[in-house]
A and B are shown apart, each in its own frame.
Chain A
Amino acid sequence: MVRLRTESFAPLLQLREEFDRVYKSLFRDGGGTPAGQSKASGIYPSLNIWEEADALKVEAELPGLKADDLDLTVLGSELTIQGRITPTPEGQTVHRCERPAGDFRRVVRLPIDVEGEKIVATLNNGVLLITLPKAAGAKPQKIKVNVG
């Protein structure tokens, strides 16, 4: 992540001070993982995955992504999410450049069997939600117990 310091703005300075720098400095001094070095660093997009009764849900935040620029594939137990986020057009001066942009690709191994034909995905306000219906074999089966 590129972070420009206030001092470097020089005469073209428009943004004199950013309040949340205060937070950043507090966080840096507060121990833990240094900013910008999360364990997920370099992996994009981040995913939340949960299980519902008859489907597996995979959610990703992909702000700025258009549906046409997204490519989802499932092969066996691997889900591939790839696409491209259009970079911000360059200006004469760049004061902040934090937003991820460009090509991304992530492959995840699905923990349960899904029905590849019935996968549905929606992109709403930059949030991608993929619904992967469980294969019949992955759903719990009620076993009837006969009294002998």
Chain B
Amino acid sequence: MNTDVEKNVDKHNGNADVASIEYTRGGRYYRPRVDIVEREGDLTVLADMPGVGPDDVDVQFNDGVLTILGRVADRLPADTPYLSREYGVGDYYRSFQVSDQIDAQQISAEMANGVLTLHLPKAAAARPRKIAVAAK
């Protein structure tokens, strides 16, 4: 696990210099930017993975670890003579440890406009419950 994580690069943050991007294809992954919000009984994860189509994304939830993998097809030959190159293109990978209160069977995912949206419903036992107070 560590091995993968150490290769993980945020393409927009400082380390996205061209030199480090050159060997992206050799197993390097970009770390997608995510929003994670919690609503009643539901965790929603949005991950920016531009260039990834609905068939190129792989989501796994295993032992409380949520793993997102997005494959990006090569858009240009490696020797393209760029006039300006501000970001690299490559696959995306990120994993999170999530509390085990998620109902793994009910996780749903959709991919649109390069954004992965995941819904992770909490297990029934973890949902907030309103407790009726009886008046005496």
Contact = CB atoms under 8 A, between A and B. Distances in A.
A118 to B, nearest CB: 19
Contacts, number: 163
B14 interface: yes
Interface string B60-97: 00000100000000011000111111110100001111
A138 to B, nearest CB: 13
Contact of A23 (B5, B16, B34, B115): B5
Q: How large is the interface on A (under 10, 10 to 19, 20 to 34, 35 or more residues)?
A: 35 or more
Contact of B46 (A15, A49, A88, A125): A88
Query: Chain A interface secondary structure, helix, strand, loop or mixed?
Result: loop
B14 A37 contact: yes
Contacts of A116: none
Nearest to A33: B14
A113 to B, nearest CB: 14
B66 to A, nearest CB: 9
A112 B16 CA distance: 27
A94 B45 CA distance: 10
B99 A13 contact: yes
A38 B21 CA distance: 15
Interface of B: 1-2, 5-8, 10, 12-16, 31, 33-40, 43-44, 46, 48-53, 65, 75-76, 80-87, 89, 94-99, 101, 113-115
Interface of A: 1, 12-20, 22-23, 26-27, 32-38, 40, 46-51, 56, 59, 61-66, 88-100, 111, 123, 125-127
